[in-house]
Amino acid sequence: MFNYLRKRFTSHIRERSRRKARLVSKDGRCNIEFGNVEQSRFVFLIDIWTTILDLRWRYKMTIFISAFLGSWFLFGLLWYVVAYIHKDLPEFNPSINHTPCVENINGLTSAFLFSLETQVTIGYGFRCVTEQCATAIFLLIFQSILGVIINSFMCGAILAKISRSKNRAKTITFSKNAVISKRGGKLCLLIRVANLRKSLLIGSHIYGKLLKTTITPEGETIILDQVNIEFVVDAGNENLFFISPLTIYHIIDKNSPFFHMAAETILQQDFELVVFLDGTVEATSATCQVRTSYIPEEVLWGYRFAPIVSKTKEGKYRVDFQNFSKTVAVETPHCAFCLYNEKEAKAKEKKGYDNPGFVLSEVSETSDTKM
């Protein structure tokens, strides 16, 4: 009993770890990390725009706040230094006729407030630059220009982050499982995909990659070897009219990597099917890519998807997403090879065959009737 429970527990842990060891998660995130990268991390600063866009929101907002507070405080120190050198501060006891570089700067706090007012251009009601110091005028111009650059970069990064097509991909959903059944007299692997928005994806194109470990004839082991998987709908796999859920399918023929799999052996296979959907967002004209993956446990042999589109009494088409991933068991050949042989056998039954050993002999009829 103990050995049985141990085996079940070990197999459960193995199956659980196998489910987690997938390159692409169901929501499209890639499970991969880079180690021992020889290049310095400073190379990411060369493409600072992409680096900022790829950061998570908490890091981006930290940089956003730090950039403004840091620049305000830095220029506040510079304004304080200008006032200190020109002896405008109260501790120098300036005379009544003394003209300061910046009026009403009495310390570091007031210098910080003047720096903030200068960079955000909210106007000067109490503190302002005079024409007494060329250094102060130059510093005012420099801070104004740098402030515009910081505002443009940081606000542009926030806007670009919000409007990224990656968020549009969240409204494209795939079925939880893939199914294998007959479609049009052929054995097919079917997946359902839906657009949750009424706006279309223009120029949509769908395809797949089968990831598996292969061993070459030379003995080299290739991990994550990629095999192209062609998916189509009845109208093709490009320029999809993606207004309602579509059922895409891959025909399992002799050129398909699923041809030698069977209902009894598919769970013992080690592969990951990654499905991609590329398109252009109608509202922003930005391209986006949606992806998901299926492992052998998520491929159901002998099932088809339940219908979800119906027509109401008012003449509208209604999509019931409650049945979006629901499957129904159907009669299906247990392997593509069997279906292929069955079709060949039926085709041969309809044909005639020549028997080379058959010899036609003519028999002459004689009449020996006696009267």
What CATH number does residue 201 fall under? 2.60.40.1400
Over range 211-231, report the average pLDDT. 85
Domain boundary among 163, 194, 209: 163
Over range 352-368, report the average pLDDT. 52
Say yes or no: 155 and 296 in one domain. no
pLDDT at 245: 85
pLDDT at 49: 83
Judge whether residue 12 has pLDDT over 80: no
Say yes or no: 212 and 140 in one domain. no
Say yes or no: 186 and 149 in one domain. no
Judge whether residue 370 has pLDDT over 80: no
Q: Which two tokens stand for residue 212?
A: 């598996």
Over range 24-31, report the average pLDDT. 82
pLDDT at 76: 93
**C-alpha count within 13 angstroms, C-beta hemisphere, residue 62:** 5
Q: Is 212 part of any domain?
A: yes
Q: Domain containing 118: what range?
A: 55-163
Q: Is 268 part of any domain?
A: yes
Neighbours of 164 (CB within 10 A): 15
Q: Is 361 helix (H, G, I), strand (E, B) or coil?
A: coil
Say yes or no: 200 and 342 in one domain. yes
Q: Is 96 helix (H, G, I), strand (E, B) or coil?
A: coil
| pLDDT band, very low/low/confident/very high, at 309 (cuts 50, 70, 90) | confident
Over range 67-94, report the average pLDDT. 91
Over range 7-34, report the average pLDDT. 67
pLDDT at 310: 84
Quote the DSSP letter at residue 33. -
Mean pLDDT of all residues in the chain? Answer: 81
Say yes or no: 176 and 302 in one domain. yes
83/100 Cα distance (integer angstroms): 7
In order, the DSSP letters of 301-347 are: ETEEEPP-EEE-TTS-EEE-GGGSS-EEE----SBHHHHHHHHHHHH
| pLDDT band, very low/low/confident/very high, at 171 (cuts 50, 70, 90) | confident
pLDDT at 69: 94
Q: Is 248 part of any domain?
A: yes
Say yes or no: 80 and 135 in one domain. yes
Strand ranges (E), the chain: 172-174, 178-183, 186-195, 201-215, 221-229, 246-251, 271-281, 287-294, 299-301, 303-305, 309-311, 317-319, 327-329
Ranking 20-34, 95-109, 175-189 by mean pLDDT, the lowest is 20-34
Residues 6+ apart with CB under 8 A from 187: 180, 181, 251, 252, 332, 333, 336, 339
Over range 63-68, report the average pLDDT. 92
Judge whether residue 371 has pLDDT over 50: no
> Is the Cβ–Cβ distance between 323 and 203 less than 8 Å?
no
| pLDDT band, very low/low/confident/very high, at 73 (cuts 50, 70, 90) | very high
Q: Is 10 part of any domain?
A: no
**Amino acid letter, residue 299:** V
> Which residue, 32, 15, 30, is CA-closest to 274?
30
Q: Residue 63 is part of a domain; what is its CATH number? A: 1.10.287.70
202/283 Cα distance (integer angstroms): 10
Say yes or no: 141 and 172 in one domain. no
Say yes or no: 116 and 179 in one domain. no
Say yes or no: 156 and 171 in one domain. no
122/67 Cα distance (integer angstroms): 18
Residue 233, burial from CB neighbour count under 10 angstroms (0-12, 13-18, 19+): middle
29/39 Cα distance (integer angstroms): 24
pLDDT at 344: 58
Judge whether residue 125 has pLDDT over 50: yes
185: left (phi over 0), alpha (psi -120 to 50) or beta: left
Say yes or no: 152 and 182 in one domain. no
Bigger pLDDT: 125 vs 319: 319
Q: Is 34 part of any domain?
A: no
Q: Is 271 part of any domain?
A: yes
Judge whether residue 66 has pLDDT over 90: yes
106/94 Cα distance (integer angstroms): 12
Ranking 147-156, 218-227, 270-279 by mean pLDDT, the lowest is 218-227
Percent of the chain with pLDDT over 90: 24
Question: Exposure string (b/e) for 105-139, b if CB count within 10 Å is 16 or more?
Answer: beebebbbbbbbbbbeeeeeeebebeebbeebeeb
Judge whether residue 328 has pLDDT over 60: yes
Say yes or no: 132 and 198 in one domain. no
272/25 Cα distance (integer angstroms): 10
Q: At what angle do helices 108-120 and 134-162 cross, to 10 degrees?
A: 60
pLDDT tens digits along 133-169: 899 999 999 999 999 999 999 888 888 888 776 677 7
Number of domains into which the chain is organized: 2
